[in-house]
Amino acid sequence: MKVSVVIPTYNDEGTIAATVESALAQKFAGAFEVIVVNDGSTDGTREKLAKFGDRIRVIDQANRGVSAARNAGIKAAAGEYIALLDGDDMWTEDKLAKTVLVLDENPGCVAVSSNVVGIDGAGREVWRYVAPEFQHSPTLDEMLAWPWPLLPSAQVIRRDTLLAIGGFAEDFKPEHWGCEDIFAMLLVRERGEIMYVPDTLVHYRCRDFQAHLASRLSSRRFEVASAEAFRAFERRFEANAILARLARKHFGASGDKIAAWAINRTANELVTAGLLAMHQGNSDFAQRCYRASLRYRPLTFRTYFRLGWAMLPAGAARMLSSMVPTGLLRSLSGPPTMEERPG
């Protein structure tokens, strides 16, 4: 078997069929298999997968997070190469043909990546994932200085490389948001070159960060601005701290830059949550977000200013709003703009 396509999925009933179809539709001369790991979905994902019959292999497991789901697929795979594909993304039909060839022809290459286009729910292009300055094969030093845009769905990796690094770190749990791929690709790059194919071979379905946070903030669990409720919310951002810890532990001082980025990202994400809470009229929750952000980045004057605004009585805020320039008012009352979104 040349390639094993590994698709982790959790509650992707609206997208998983298109994802699997894009894998099965590959115009690729070699043998490949499609393994879908259903990570404890509670929606109709399993029923969607059943319709593919024996065209795919499905592994069902309790919800343990995307790292554990990918690892289960890698362990079960028979292919020489692992092609990762997330349950809400899609490939172009020449994805495998254009990436596998690179691995076949370059023994020192352990992984190959491609360009990606971001699409919205209607399938419209909204942005290109890989900016021009990242469109080359990165050195390890470059990847340790700044998180390289190596979307999992764009990666084809030698299976023995993934086994050698221990797969994806399962320190990252279901409640965490991201970062598991950043650390895994750093370990992959230690083993050899990650080559870049400039073709756009992946359609990445953008999940609006504001919408994602809004669903959390509007849920019953987070309407009560108690310390306990906020701690439950803040745990969502622990992936950044886990990345920082793992990077420093594995790379020593060389991991300091990527660790600092991760901590800074936590501060940004909490500010984004605070602005969204302000936009929803939840100033108590916004105050908690800003105070939490300042624990990570205590010298950010703008966050103190936002905290002060959130602490104003509603009447005073309304009175002052008419005297504040529109741009400044938005930066205080939300919703967050692209500037405040984490990156």
Q: 187 and 170 in one domain?
A: yes
- Write out pLDDT tens, residues 35-94: 999 999 999 999 999 999 999 999 999 999 999 999 999 999 999 999 999 999 999 999
Rg, the chain, Cα only? 21
- Write out pLDDT tens, residues 295-304: 999 999 999 9
Q: Per the structure, how many domains does the chain have?
A: 2
Q: 216 and 154 in one domain?
A: no
From 188, 205, 222, the end of a domain falls on: 205
Q: 297 and 233 in one domain?
A: yes
Note down the domain range covering 321: 209-340
Q: 28 and 170 in one domain?
A: yes
Q: 152 and 118 in one domain?
A: yes
Q: 193 and 112 in one domain?
A: yes
Residue 222: band (very low, low, confident or very high) from pLDDT cuts 50, 70, 90: very low
Cis, peptide link before residue 335, omega less than 30° from 0? yes
Can you tell me the distance from the alpha carbon of 293 to that of 302, in angstroms, rounded to the nearest whole number? 11
CB of 337 closer than 8 Å to CB of 268: no
Q: 255 and 187 in one domain?
A: no
Q: 204 pairs with which residues across the strands? A: 118
Q: 105 and 186 in one domain?
A: yes
CATH code assigned at 121: 3.90.550.10
Q: 200 and 111 in one domain?
A: yes
Can you tell me the distance from the alpha carbon of 175 to that of 236, in angstroms, rounded to the nearest whole number? 6
Please name the residues in contact with 299: beta carbons below 8 A apart, sequence gap of 6 or more.
none
Gap between the terminal Cα atoms of the chain? 38
Q: 316 and 167 in one domain?
A: no
Can you tell me the distance from the alpha carbon of 99 to that of 155, in angstroms, rounded to the nearest whole number? 9
| pTM for the structure as a whole | 0.88
Q: 14 and 40 in one domain?
A: yes
Neighbours of 65 (CB within 10 A): 22
pLDDT at residue number 177: 78
Residue closest to 273 by CA, chosen among 243, 312, 306, 239: 306
From 205, 224, 254, the end of a domain falls on: 205
Q: Which residues of 143-168 are buried (b: 16+ CB within 10 A; e: fewer)?
A: bbeebbbbbbbbbbbbbebbeebebb
Neighbours of 327 (CB within 10 A): 8
From 170, 205, 240, the end of a domain falls on: 205
- Write out pLDDT tens, residues 151-164: 999 999 999 999 99
Q: 128 and 26 in one domain?
A: yes
Treating both helix axes as pointing N-terminal to C-terminal, what angle do 209-217 and 256-279 enclose, rounded to 10 degrees?
A: 60
